[in-house]
A and B are shown apart, each in its own frame.
Chain A
Amino acid sequence: MQRNLLCSVAMVLLFVPSLPAQRVGEAAPEFEATDSNGQTHKLSEYRGKFVVLEWHNNGCPYTRKHYESGNMQRLQKEWTGKGVVWFTVISSAPGQQGYVTAQQENDYLKQMNAAPTAALLDPQGFLGRLYSAKTTPHMFIINPAGVLIYDGAIDSRATTDQADIASARNYVSEALGEAMAGKPVTTPTSRPYGCSVKYAH
């Protein structure tokens, strides 16, 4: 198992530099990652479901805007309640802001009353680089056929001010709502806003 994981990580590493960045409308790249409870998840295991990827850094003021207001938790509860698989992904490298151990992440999830399906720990940044995750937050949505249907910001107000949440257009909810209703996604991409993902140098 461990060996398999190492192999897949190595494969990902080998292929990343030659892969053109995926675009909305194309197949989302396969990944295998470990969550804060030690469980592994493969994207392909979730065929047939919508999957949300939420890049996260608990010290970033843009992430804090959406957690301290309860906005992110509300979204997680609403959409996982409708069958969506929601992965919070942490790509901060050890020593960088937002890096957490599995225990620290579990404590954080509990303390914040967060409700993702799982929090994927990506301290080497493999998953982050595979998806070209730039900011925290940066949101991706993959449809039940495994196609990327949204890549961008959480909403339309690129600030750290919680007061802006109410007047913002939430692109994630819009896209999930439209896609579930069988409609095309109005805003399939936007500039993700936030702090840079704290990758290993």
Chain B
Amino acid sequence: MLNRFVMQLAGILLACAGELVFPRLTASADPAAEHTKLELVSEQDAIVPGQKLWLGVRFDLQDGWHTYWVNPGDSGEGPRVEWQLPTGFQAGPIQWPFPARLSTPPLVDYGYEHQVLLMTAVQLPWQAKEGKIETIGARVHYLVCREVCIPGEKQLALSLPVRSRAARSRSGQLFEVTRQRVPQRAPSQWRISVASVANEFVLNLRATTSLESVQFFPLNEEQIENAALQRTSLIPGGVRLHLEKSKHLLKPISRLEGVLVIGSAKAYLVDIPVTNHSGAIPSQ
């Protein structure tokens, strides 16, 4: 009788404890995970000794939520990936796809909505043993924001067999699509110059492609005002972009480094020396 009572009481207490503790634990363990799914994916379905393997951290963000570019802009923080690799594996830097301009006046952030793949090339060692299954780990620190921001941390893992040849995995196409959005070096025949004129950087771009719309995303923080309108004007053979200097920029800079997005799909990496002009804007 007493035993049954104790058991019942224990049952009720457990249920209560479950109610009280479990939702809290799940809610506080990783509340960011409610707004984005993360997965570690590979372009190929196997590890081939001596070759390069493209891995990526895929974010699937809930509608209305975003995460950030390497330069997050006015607020926020870009994701960080800590790799846990088998011996001899070497991961390169993240190949950041060009971001979207996320505007919440008076601020502008640079980031991603819906889905993004942060790709990294991993050099595989020749010594990898065929037939073995290797596990690659990645610990991802990230921030997701809507009106509010939530930091998250997620441990990801992916196991792949070592084989003499590999085929495209089911994530292969996402890598292909993402590669189109990773900035390429600007073609060498393009003529790009940047002049520092009063409170602006004036960027002249003469390119061998149609320049219907041009946007600049700075790679370094606090060089330009992120939220300022990027005024464009036509110059012979190209366009001119007026970039307002950041009010945090107290000293001249020697180079302007960033991504030029042309139209809505092509992005180019540029790193341009800055010339200082006190007078008129040069036409070259």
Contacts and interface: CB of A to CB of B under 8 A. Distances in A.
Nearest to B80: A159
Interface in A146-201: 151-152, 158-160, 188-191, 193-199, 201
A23 B222 CA distance: 13
Given A25-B250, A97-B147, A198-B147, A159 B109 contact: no
B151 A160 contact: yes
A151 B247 CA distance: 10
Contact of B74 (A23, A62, A96, A134): A134
Contact of B250 (A61, A132, A188): A188
Contacts of A135: 74-75
A92 to B, nearest CB: 10
A159 B147 CA distance: 18
Interface stretch (B57-65, B99-107, B201-209): B99-107
A159 B77 CA distance: 7
Interface string B172-204: 000000000000000000000000000000000
A98 to B, nearest CB: 9
B143 interface: yes
B105 A199 contact: yes
B180 to A, nearest CB: 30
Contact of B248 (A97, A190, A197): A190
Given A195-B149, A197-B107, A199-B106, A152 B77 contact: no
A23 B147 contact: no
A197 B109 CA distance: 12
A134 B210 CA distance: 36
A48 interface: no
Interface residues of A, number: 32
A30 to B, nearest CB: 18
Contacts of A49: none
Nearest to B249: A189
Chain B: interface size category: 20 to 34
Contacts of B104: 196, 199, 201
A180 B109 CA distance: 35
Interface in A38-65: 59-62
A129 interface: yes
A24 B246 CA distance: 12
Nearest to A136: B75
Nearest to A160: B151
B150 interface: yes
A97 B75 contact: no
A3 B76 CA distance: 39
Contacts of B1: none
Given A61-B151, A152-B248, A196-B109, A191 B76 contact: no
Contact of B247 (A23, A61, A194): A23
A132 B147 contact: no
A164 to B, nearest CB: 11
A59 B148 contact: yes
Interface of B: 74-77, 104-107, 109, 141, 143, 145, 147-151, 221-222, 247-250
15 contacts: A23-B250, A59-B148, A61-B143, A61-B150, A61-B151, A132-B247, A134-B107, A160-B151, A189-B222, A189-B250, A194-B75, A195-B76, A196-B149, A197-B107, A199-B106
